[in-house]
C-alpha cells in the first residue's frame, strides 16, 4: 500500500509542495530511543527512532511495528541483525491514511503517511530517517488538466497525458533530521470516525475521517466533466501510551572539593497533557518533583552521595504507564576572550600577531578542557580553565573555535578578529 521499495532517496525536501497548503500542524517530536540495548530503566524498546510525534490537537502517535495490526506488513530481513532487533525490514508507520477511488478514469489513489525508514532501503543502524508523505497516483482516460483535493491541500496538474498512473506525484518532507518531518503539509493527523480506543484508526476499515484542515475527502476533477470523490479512508496509528516529554538540558555543577548539584530541564509539548508530572531521581536518592511553569520543568538537586552523571526523569499522567527517560549529566562550558566568566562568548584573533586568545570556563571545577577549530589544534589542544590562553603562529583566523570539557559539555563561538 505504502511500500516504497529500495529507491527511497528520490525523496526531496519541498516545503511548499501544494498550491494551497494548510500551516504545518505536527508540533513536536519526542526523544530518540537508543539504538542499542539501554539496559534496565527504559520503559520502551530501542530502535534509534523518536519515541513519538505530536500534532496540534495533542494527538501523540508512536511507531507501529509487526505484529501490531496497525502496522503495515514488512517482515524482518533474514540475516539482518538490526532488522531482527527492531522487528521490521525497511519501513514502519507512526500514522498512515489511504483513500482510493475506482471511477470512469480508472483508479485514483491518495497515500498519506508519517513514516520511519532508512536512507539506504533496508534496516541499518545509524541510517534512520522519518518523513511525512503525500502521494497522488491517478489513471487518466482523457488528456488535460486535473485538480486533486485532499485533506491537506489542493494541487493542479496541467497537460496530463492519457495513461495508467499518468499522474504519479510523491512529496516527502523530512529525511535530513527527525524534526524536519514536522515541516510539511500533513497535520493534524486524520482520525477514523469510530477508531478503536488507543488508536487513530484500525488500519483495515474504509471509514470517514475527521481533522482534515482542507476537508475530509479525496476528490479528483478533470476534463470531460470528471468529478469523482470519496470520504472513506483506511487509517492506522497507535496513540502513545506514555507521558510525552523531553529532557532538554541535563547539566551539573561541581566544586573542587567534589560537591555536585544536578540542574535538569525538561519540556512537555503543547497542547499540555492534563495532569502531567515529572520527577527527577539521582542515583541512590529518593525522587524529587520537578517544578513546572507552563510546558517547562526544572529541578536542582544536590548529590548527597558519590557523584554519578546518570539520572532518571519519570513522567506520569493519570491512567497511563509512567514514561522513564535516562539522561547523562554534562557540565556547562563557556568561552570568553577575558578572564571573567559570564561575558559575551567569544574568542579573539590578532591578525597582525597571528595569535588566538580565549578563556574556557566550566561548571565542573574538576574537568579538563581542550580547544579545537584552528590550524594546529588538530583534535584538541589543552585549555587551562579560568585564564587567558594564547595560541601563537596561527596563519589565518578560524571562523569558529570550540572548547570541549572532559565532562561532556562544549561550546562553539565565532572568532572576533582584531588588527
Q: Is residue 3 part of a domain?
A: no
What CATH number is associated with residue 277? Answer: 2.60.40
Instruction: Tell whether 130 and 63 lie within a shared domain.
Output: yes
Q: Among residues 300, 328, 356, which one ends one of the domains?
A: 328
- The pTM of this model reads 0.82
Q: Is residue 217 part of a domain?
A: yes
Cell numbers 578563556 correspond to what residue? Answer: 359
Q: What is the pLDDT of residue 340?
A: 64
Q: Is residue 267 part of a domain?
A: yes
CA distance 316 to 244: 9
Instruction: Tell whether 228 and 349 lie within a shared domain.
Output: no
**Of 299, 322, 100, which is closest to residue 217 (Cα–Cα)?**
100
Instruction: Tell whether 279 and 177 lie within a shared domain.
Output: no
Q: What is the pLDDT of residue 33?
A: 87
Q: Among residues 192, 208, 239, which one ends one of the domains?
A: 239
Instruction: Tell whether 311 and 355 lie within a shared domain.
Output: no
Instruction: Tell whether 117 and 198 lie within a shared domain.
Output: yes
b/e burial code for range 240-277 (CB count within 10 A of at least 16 → b): bebbbbbbeebbbbbeeeeebbbbbebbbbeeebeebb
Instruction: Tell whether 203 and 255 lie within a shared domain.
Output: no
The tens-digit pLDDT sequence of the chain (419 residues) is: 444 433 333 333 332 233 333 345 899 999 998 877 655 544 455 899 999 999 999 999 999 988 889 988 899 999 998 898 899 999 999 999 999 999 999 999 999 999 999 999 999 999 999 999 999 999 999 999 999 999 999 999 999 999 999 999 999 999 999 999 999 999 999 999 999 999 999 999 999 999 999 999 999 999 999 999 999 999 999 999 899 999 999 999 999 999 999 999 999 998 888 899 999 999 999 999 999 999 999 999 999 989 999 999 999 998 888 899 999 999 999 998 877 666 667 899 999 999 999 999 999 999 999 999 999 999 999 999 989 999 999 999 999 999 999 999 999 999 999 99
Instruction: Tell whether 224 and 316 lie within a shared domain.
Output: no
Instruction: Tell whether 109 and 217 lie within a shared domain.
Output: yes
One DSSP character per residue, 265-304 reads: EEE-PSSPPTT-EEEEE-TTS--EEPEEETTEEEEEEE-S
Q: Among residues 328, 346, 379, which one ends one of the domains?
A: 328
Q: What is the pLDDT of residue 20?
A: 32
Instruction: Tell whether 124 and 165 lie within a shared domain.
Output: yes
Instruction: Tell whether 286 and 339 lie within a shared domain.
Output: no
Tell me the residue range of the domain where 378 lies. 333-418
Q: What is the pLDDT of residue 18?
A: 30
Q: Is residue 127 part of a domain?
A: yes
Q: Is residue 375 part of a domain?
A: yes
Q: What is the pLDDT of residue 270?
A: 86
Instruction: Tell whether 284 and 230 lie within a shared domain.
Output: no
Number of structural domains in the chain: 3
Instruction: Tell whether 151 and 250 lie within a shared domain.
Output: no
Amino acid at each position: 500500500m505504502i511500500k516504497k521499495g529500495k529507491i527511497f532517496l528520490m525523496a526531496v525536501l519541498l516545503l511548499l509542495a501544494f498550491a494551497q497548503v494548510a500551516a504545518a500542524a505536527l508540533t513536536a517530536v519526542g526523544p530518540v530511543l537508543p539504538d542499542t540495548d539501554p539496559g534496565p530503566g527504559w520503559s520502551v524498546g530501542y530502535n534509534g527512532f523518536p519515541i513519538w510525534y505530536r500534532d496540534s490537537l495533542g494527538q501523540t502517535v508512536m511507531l507501529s511495528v509487526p505484529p501490531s495490526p496497525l502496522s503495515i506488513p514488512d517482515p524482518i530481513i533474514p540475516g539482518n541483525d538490526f532488522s531482527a532487533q527492531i522487528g521490521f525490514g525497511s519501513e514502519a508507520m507512526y500514522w498512515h491514511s489511504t483513500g482510493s477511488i475506482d471511477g470512469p478514469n480508472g483508479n485514483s489513489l491518495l497515500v498519506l503517511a508519517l513514516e520511519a525508514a532508512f536512507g539506504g532501503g533496508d534496516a541499518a543502524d545509524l541510517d534512520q530517517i522519518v518523513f511525512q508523505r503525500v502521494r497522488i497516483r491517478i489513471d487518466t482516460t482523457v488528456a488535460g488538466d486535473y485538480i486533486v483535493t485532499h485533506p491537506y491541500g489542493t494541487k493542479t496538474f496541467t497537460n496530463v497525458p492519457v495513461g495508467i498512473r499518468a499522474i504519479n506525484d510523491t512529496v516527502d518532507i523530512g529525511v535530513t533530521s527527525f524534526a524536519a518531518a514536522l515541516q510539511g503539509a500533513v497535520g493534524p493527523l486524520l482520525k477514523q470516525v469510530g477508531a478503536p480506543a488507543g488508536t487513530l484508526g484500525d488500519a483495515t476499515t474504509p471509514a470517514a475521517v475527521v481533522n482534515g484542515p482542507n476537508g475530509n475527502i479525496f476528490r479528483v476533477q478533470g476534463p470531460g466533466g470528471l468529478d469523482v470523490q470519496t470520504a472513506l479512508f483506511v487509517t492506522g496509528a497507535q496513540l502513545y501510551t506514555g507521558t510525552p516529554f523531553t529532557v532538554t538540558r541535563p547539566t551539573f555543577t561541581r566544586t573542587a572539593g567534589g560537591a555536585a548539584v544536578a540542574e535538569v530541564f525538561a519540556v512537555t509539548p503543547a497542547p499540555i497533557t492534563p495532569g502531567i508530572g515529572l520527577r527527577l531521581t539521582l542515583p541512590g536518592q529518593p525522587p524529587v518533583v520537578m517544578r513546572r511553569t507552563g510546558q517547562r520543568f526544572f529541578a536542582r538537586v544536590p548529590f548527597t552521595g558519590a557523584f554519578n552523571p546518570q539520572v532518571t526523569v519519570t513522567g506520569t499522567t493519570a491512567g497511563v504507564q509512567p514514561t522513564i527517560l535516562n539522561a547523562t549529566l554534562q557540565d556547562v562550558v563557556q568561552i570568553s576572550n577575558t578572564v571573567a566568566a559570564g561575558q559575551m562568548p567569544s574568542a579573539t584573533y590578532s591578525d597582525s600577531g597571528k595569535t588566538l586568545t580565549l578563556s574556557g570556563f566550566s561548571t565542573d571545577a574538576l574537568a579538563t578542557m581542550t580547544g579545537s577549530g584552528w590550524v594546529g589544534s588538530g583534535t584538541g589542544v589543552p585549555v587551562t580553565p579560568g585564564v587567558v590562553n594564547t595560541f601563537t603562529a596561527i596563519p589565518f583566523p578560524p571562523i569558529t573555535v570550540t572548547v570541549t570539557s572532559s565532562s561532556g559539555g562544549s561550546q562553539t563561538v565565532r572568532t572576533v578578529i582584531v588588527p
